[in-house]
Structure 1
Amino acid sequence: MKVLEVNVDDLHSGGVFSLIKNVIVNKGTDIKIDIGAIEQFVNIENIRMLDKYDCDVHYIGYDGSKWKKQIVCFKNLKKLLKSNNYDCVHIHADVANKLLVSAFAAKCVGLKKIIVHSHAAGVDGNHRVFKRYIHLMCRRLLAYVATDFVACSELAAEWMFPNIAKDHIVIINNGVDLDKFRFNPEIRIEERKRLGLQNSKIIGHVGRFAYQKNHEYLIKIMERLHEIDSSIKLLLVGEGPKEKEIHDLVKNKGLEDTIVFFGTSDSVNELFQAMDIFVLPSFFEGLPIVGVEAQAAGLPVIFSSLITSEAKITQNVQFLDIAEDNIDEWVRQILHDIGKKRYDTYQELKNRKFSIQDTIYSFLSLYKGE
């Protein structure tokens, strides 16, 4: 069986890439999974790694005008599907127009199985009002071009598929490698030493620097915390379009020694070991993979109240409002939770089917129509 995963790339090392990479690495040999990337891969090593698992990466995007890009992507995807005889196409996106263009291309070549997968519950980037309008216009059309509808949470399903019956939507958890993220005291000691933060209390955040992740709110929280306890540090893992803006904000507030800009990492699992608490004050998420990883590492977690309650897997999770007048509440909760003792959450996540093995089984069952 041959499957093409569409709109997957390693730009900013996002959650969808992490998820699909895990599926490809663990899928077995009875199925071939390729990638149709709308954005260029930024790390050639990721392409080489995928090649070891018989995964071909095809660039079907366009680097010019965004309006022309949709047409070029449509044509390139049609050509790729025609020449490679795929049995199934699995399209990933946070907005309906991206799903619609690719699904229509697959329908035009007569593909029998066209899966559209919702990974978010909001609009990111610039021109958000316009993007939301386009999304709302396109999402009802998905019913006419796709055969299967998948979401990472009930909230993501509501965002993308308002005219699809709930029993026709498959919810697939964003599973992670539980053994890889399992709390390990020895790795914790080594990683904190490598970071030079042995004597610090570390707040962790993993996510690209973009509107969605709300880094500005994090900086305001850190400004208050620094006044109370100077041993508290914020570890920011990721990169993105707003990175320089956040750097400048930190500098203007004199917090350079308090906030660590780590960049991207191929060993995020080890960075989770070093943290004492994980925070995610996002404006929206589908179901954040980093939130699952943090809980797999046994960390106390604080989510924005705008994130679906389905993200709460362990008992060490709190949801707080991200209103401007609620920063003190975040400060109080962080100070309360940052000293909590870590514990092994492996079985809790396993029981809730947040293991990558559960996700792989769900994906393969979907592809094979089981």
Structure 2
Amino acid sequence: MKVLHIITGLGVGGAEQQLRLLLRHLPVECDVATLTDAGAVAHGIVADGTRVTDLGMAGNQDVTVLPRLARLIRSGRYDAVHTHLYRACLYGRIAARLAGVRAVVATEHSLGDSQMEGRALTTGVRALYLAGERLGRMTVAVSPAVGRRLHRWGVPRKRIRVVPNGIDVDRFRFDPAARVRTRRRLGLPDTAYVVGGVGRLTGGKRFDVLLHAAAQLPEDVAVLLVGAGPQEDELRRLAHRLGLAGRVRFAGEAAHEESEEEGGAPALPSLLSAMDTLASPSPEEAFGLALVEGLATGLPVLYASCPALDDLPADARTNASYRPSDPDSFAQALYGLRDARPPSRSAPASVGHYSITRSADQLMRVYASVVPGQNLEVNPR
């Protein structure tokens, strides 16, 4: 079986890095096409041995990409096309139909109640999405919450499958040496209590809540923000106004793996090891992958929205606490965690539910359901 994955871009991002991880565990031949931005994750995918084609799309309305993408699909003789992210799902489904491939799967990574990938869910966005969805065979939701949203939009239940995001659990195990090394690199004292936030620096992530909460806490509490985005300058100004300039570190985008270059930027597992708590004040998430990765590093996590955790039984949410997305609630919880630092850093057994091998097996079942005549072996779970 041969599958072409189509994604909007391959800069550093959750969906992009999830695709790279999946490619390592899918037991079928795969290629990747990116509509634009063949960035850091594209280079990593190529290094892993998977071919990446950059279609150089000029903008959201560059329809010239359609015939080029259709030719790529036709010449590659793909049995299935798998699309990721809004723009790629729309153009990829149309191009697959033009190329004569009906086995099209789309993963919905970022559908919230009011936005998708940062864009407001207007009537036009919803109508265009549903029109494209009808050109495919199956839509994969990364959580039951996303599946329910899709159904409310009008996607039939029989066309929705839930395949949660997955993580490489071993890669995120707590590393005490990386903790010391990363803190020194970032200028964080060994004795500091470091509260982390991971994600795009946009208004929807509400990292301003985290800064306002930190301003209420003792001076040994520092904040480490991992990510990049349009709100970075505003957050830096807010940290200065709150008197936190010396207590906040902006780490920028982080890959999931350490750079082989001397002095390369710390990867996400090392940054998580450097933290003492991971906090997500975002009130609207599609999954909450960073929080699962934090749990795998043995961190206590605070969250205002995390379908990945909500979908687990209550007794499996060890180390995870819900808080409303307001500074006082987060400050109160962080103050208690600071005074009760755990003696060790071990991951709860529940993170195994989100193992990447389990997710890959579930996705293979989806492929088997949409590609006629394929006898695909998957591991029983």
Name the residue aligned to 1:317: 320
Name the residue aligned to 1:32: 29
User: Residue 86 of structure 1 aligns to a residue in which SS?
Assistant: coil
Name the residue aligned to 2:71: 79
Q: Is the 8 A contact 2:285 2:305 kept in 1?
A: no
Per-residue Cα deviation, 1:43-71 (whole angstroms, up to 9, x for no partner):
3xx4443224331211224234x3x23x2
User: Residue 257 of structure 1 aligns to a residue in which SS?
Assistant: helix
Please state if 1:224 is matched with 2:213.
Answer: no
Deviation at 1:88, TM superposition (A): 1.0
1:53–1:2 Cα change, 3 Å: farther
Over the matched positions of the two proteins, sequence identity in percent amounts to: 24
Give, in whole Å, the separation in 2 of the partners of 1:221 and 1:56.
45
TM-score, structure 1 normalization:
0.85
Per-residue Cα deviation, 1:318-340 (whole angstroms, up to 9, x for no partner):
12222xxx421110011112334
Please state if 1:155 is matched with 2:145.
Answer: yes
Q: Is the 8 A contact 2:109 2:286 kept in 1?
A: yes
Partner amino acid for 1:26?
A: H
Name the residue aligned to 1:199: 191
Name the residue aligned to 1:245: 234
Partner amino acid for 2:48?
A: Y
Partner amino acid for 2:230?
A: P
Q: Is the 8 A contact 1:284 1:307 kept in 2?
A: no
TM-score, structure 2 normalization:
0.83
Please state if 1:106 is matched with 2:107.
Answer: no
What RMSD over aligned residues (CA atoms) do the two structures have, in Å? 2.5
Pairing partner for 2:207 from 190, 210, 215 = 215
The aligned length equals: 350
Per-residue Cα deviation, 1:57-114 (whole angstroms, up to 9, x for no partner):
11224234x3x23x23333322221222111111112x5x652332122122211310
Q: Is the 8 A contact 1:302 1:319 kept in 2?
A: yes
Name the residue aligned to 2:350: 348
Pairing partner for 1:57 from 52, 57, 69 = 52
Give, in whole Å, the separation in 2 of the partners of 1:248 and 1:21.
35
Deviation at 1:305, TM superposition (A): 4.0
Deviation at 1:355, TM superposition (A): 0.8
Give, in whole Å, the separation in 2 of the partners of 1:124 and 1:218.
23
Deviation at 1:186, TM superposition (A): 4.0
Per-residue Cα deviation, 1:240-275 (whole angstroms, up to 9, x for no partner):
222222223323333210110111223211111111
Give, in whole Å, the separation in 1 of the partners of 2:305 and 2:80.
36
- Structure in which a larger fraction of residues adopt helix: 1
Partner amino acid for 1:25?
A: R
1:346–1:220 Cα change, 3 Å: closer
Name the residue aligned to 1:117: 107
1:188–1:320 Cα change, 3 Å: same
Partner amino acid for 1:91?
A: T
User: Residue 344 of structure 1 aligns to a residue in which SS?
Assistant: coil
Please state if 1:188 is matched with 2:189.
Answer: no
